[in-house]
Amino acid sequence: MFLNINILSLMLGFFFANIVSTMPAQTGDWNIISGSIIVTINEIISKYIYRYRTKEKIKNKYLLFNFFNNIKIGIIYGLFVDAFKLGS
């Protein structure tokens, strides 16, 4: 069951990255700005998750943290795939 949730959250993050990076990019002006906003939000979420995770080891919140972490990994992976598509 946990493997299915992890794969689903990775694909959800990849889907979010495709949506967020292509919608403002229709004009061609917002590619760098939208990418930097996504990475900044991603790093802020990482800061709060890992600060809370190191202070308190709560087992019932682990699934939620893992879900958000996999979404973040999917978003970063989606941005890398979009960058490789643009580079080729």
User: How large is the average pLDDT for residues 33-55?
Assistant: 77
**This prediction's pTM:** 0.73
* Tens-digit pLDDT profile for residues 16-35: 888 877 776 566 666 677 77
User: How large is the average pLDDT for residues 33-50?
Assistant: 81
* Tens-digit pLDDT profile for residues 73-85: 898 888 888 878 7
Per-residue model confidence (pLDDT) at position 24: 66
User: How large is the average pLDDT for residues 37-44?
Assistant: 84
* Distance spanning both ends of the chain, measured CA to CA: 38
Q: How far is CA 67 from the centre of its chain?
A: 10
Following DSSP, what letter does each residue of 10-55 receive, concatenated? HHHHHHHHHHHHHSGGGSSSSHHHHHHHHHHHHHHHHHHHHHHHHH
